[in-house]
Amino acid sequence: MKKKLLYFLLILFAISCKSYDFQIKDFENASFKHVVEKTLKQYDAKAEKYSLLIFTNFYHGEKIIVENDKHILYQDSMKTMENFGLAKMIRVDNNHDVKIKDIDMNIKVLVKSDLAKAYKFIYVEKNQYLKDGVGNDSILNTKKVYKIIYSNSLLGFM
């Protein structure tokens, strides 16, 4: 009995240590169809094999690397445009896993291809209470740093 309890607590601890959380959601305030089509055309992402990786809120100049199948898709600092809640959009081939690395906080996030194939838009949001990325370790130990939302709806910030 004690072994089962210890095993359960160990699994619970391991699950809670992950630095990101994910959700699947369709937004009620999504953009109109013509805006979605224009955005997909602009990023050449209409084909089924592409999804848009959308970095949204609370980026303050952190160095981010996005890799897909050994290709670096983005490597630069990222900053959210405060009025729009948008930092960056990147087209990704959803036949391959996408790795997102936050260099400043030493965090890696994995977007699995089997899940990404089913959704056109993948939102990556950073926790608002981790603006500076340094200092308060208690925040890092109790909160998820990133939230990944898979959706087939484009948010209306465009």
Identify the pLDDT of residue 105.
85
Overall average pLDDT of the 53-69 stretch: 92
Structure tokens at 104: 């400043």
> Of the ranges 36-45, 78-87, 139-148, 149-158, which one carries the lowest mean pLDDT score?
139-148
Whole-angstrom Cα distance, residue 123 to residue 115? 13
Identify the pLDDT of residue 157.
60
Task: Give pLDDT tens digits for 93-119.
Answer: 999 999 999 998 888 999 999 999 999
Type of residue at 46: K
What pTM does this model have?
0.74
Identify the pLDDT of residue 113.
93
Whole-angstrom Cα distance, residue 14 to residue 97? 22
pLDDT for 139 beyond 70 = no
Overall average pLDDT of the 32-40 stretch: 84
Long-range pairs, 94-99, Cβ under 8 A, ≥24: 94/49, 94/50, 94/51, 95/49, 96/68, 96/69, 97/68, 97/69, 98/53, 98/66, 98/67, 98/68, 98/73, 98/122, 99/65, 99/66, 99/67, 99/68
- Model confidence at 24, in pLDDT bands (50, 70, 90)? low
Overall average pLDDT of the 6-26 stretch: 50
